[in-house]
Amino acid sequence: MHENELIKGVWIKTYTIPKDRDYYDIRNPADTRQLIARFPRLKREDVKSAIDVAKEAFAKWSTTLPVERANILYKTAFIIESRANDMARLLTLEEGKTLADSMFEVVRTVNLLRFYAGGLIVKDLGKVIPSQDKNTLIMTMREPPLGVVGVITPPWNFPLSLPAWKIIPAIATGNTVVWKPASITPTIAHELVKAFYDAGLPEGVLNFVTGSGGEVGDELVMNKDIDAITFTGSLQVGKEVNEKIGKQNRFVRVQLELGGKNATVLTKNGDINLAIEQVVRSAFGLTGQACTATSRFLIPEDMHDEVLNKLIERTKRIVVGNGLKQGVDMGPLASREQFEKVLGYIELGKQEGARLVYGGSVIKGSEEFDHGYFVQPTIFDGVTKDMRIAREEIFGPVLAVMTYRTLDEAIDIVNSVEYGLITGIVTRDLNEAMRFSQGVKVGVVKINKPTIGLEPGYHMVALRRRVMIFIRRWVRRQFNSSLE
């Protein structure tokens, strides 16, 4: 490929990137010798231009007929579907996940487009409410579009479907968007924007800006012409985003998704083999790089040895390698930063006294692995709830095995972290499942299902516990019939 074809720009109507902007490289995490693309590090003035364009486009887009907006979503779905093989391959090259996982994400993005086109735009109407007064009828109208929505998605693990969950309903309901994608995976994000415009989306409705969170992201949060912010990322950065918005002398709708430290609990009434299959899939699938991944596996104390042995034997069968190769179960970590972070947590687990029973090493020694960010799937046993590897989000293929005596103790362990995204229980006892569901403080409980994966209509409703943030559920307000 010619070098000029690797240089990507931005989508800000007819905006020309200033010549003094620096560019950064996007490389294949399975083989860092391969250059995928180069993107500009934009500055505040570039983001301001994008916001101005979005504000100008809002006046017309907000009055576009809902059926016209729905048609554009349907066309975008058709275009992505027709490009699915190429987009899946690009996603794997850029992020590292297996080709099967990449194809699943492309298909899910297509499904989201059709879900919102058919289930939201056309059907989300006003309501008639009975009145307490005679000869009175209360009629409600759907809330009008907000304006310009800033979409900030630093996570690179789902660079298509995660931002699609935010962008699609925003533009579907008549808003315009300025989107900062993950710095690690802007190439596939670029293709998503291209599909929208190839489908006939008017210029300025969706604007795409790349660069650092400290400059590009901060401008989106602080700019007075942004009417709503949706952010997915770390707990700490989410708190900072909320604090900055709270200090502004105006009301901005804000939605935050801030990670997870999820547990799967096997009870004495559960199917051991089912639990192991689900935990292995949830802990090591996607290389553990998912906010819904299982990172804690709770086992009844008197079942520990049997379950642990079976878990290790099953984990040994995981095939690690380049995600483009057939038969690979787990690809590389997505970046050097994440690679070093995961290795750091593995060392921390050893220092804390946890017992490393499987994995924990960098995979090297052959042409396939020597130039990528490959780490073995890793299992720690003897983990206690005070250890950092049991409390902090690692975002990698590291599983902490913990034991409990009673269901109440298991619930206490699940609730002992500051996250509350999702949890799972494996049991044949319905009463046990219901008692567990009522006791855990999380947004989603999976019963006899893997923790990874959520239905389209229930994404973004699980908010962290103990995080003192003021959130207006603008997702519910703006997209109530599809998300409620």
Q: Active site residue: 94, 219, 291, 432, which one?
A: 291
How many C-beta neighbours within 10 Å does residue 468 have? 6
Helix (H) or strand (E) holding 88: helix 84-95
Q: Active site residue: 95, 219, 257, 432, which one?
A: 257
What residues have CB less than 8 Å from 2, skipping those under 6 apart?
A: none
From residue 364, give the alpha-carbon distance in Å to each of 30, 72, 130, 371, 375.
Answer: 12, 47, 69, 9, 9
Joined tokens for residue 277: 């299959």
Annotated catalytic, 257? Answer: yes
- Strand pairing of 422-426 and 262-266? parallel
Handedness of CA 466, 181, 215, 211 (dihedral sign): positive
Annotated catalytic, 240? Answer: no
Joined tokens for residue 152: 């900030």
Task: Name the amino acid, one letter, at 125.
Answer: L
Handedness of CA 48, 50, 56, 58 (dihedral sign): negative
Q: How far apart are CA 292 and CA 75, in angstroms?
A: 30
Question: Which among 172, 175, 202 has a CA at the least distance from the CA of 58?
Answer: 175
Q: How far apart are CA 113 and CA 106, in angstroms?
A: 11
Contact yes or no for 168/114 (Cβ under 8 A) = no
Contacts 24+ apart (CB under 8 A), 218-224: 218/44, 218/244, 219/44, 219/47, 219/48, 219/51, 220/47, 220/51, 220/150, 220/152, 220/178, 220/180, 221/150, 221/152, 221/245, 222/248, 223/47, 223/48, 223/51, 223/150, 224/248, 224/250
- Strand pairing of 138-139 and 148-152? unpaired
Phi, psi of 352 (to 5 degrees): -75, -10
Contact yes or no for 99/70 (Cβ under 8 A) = no
Instruction: Give me the active site residues, please.
Output: 257, 291
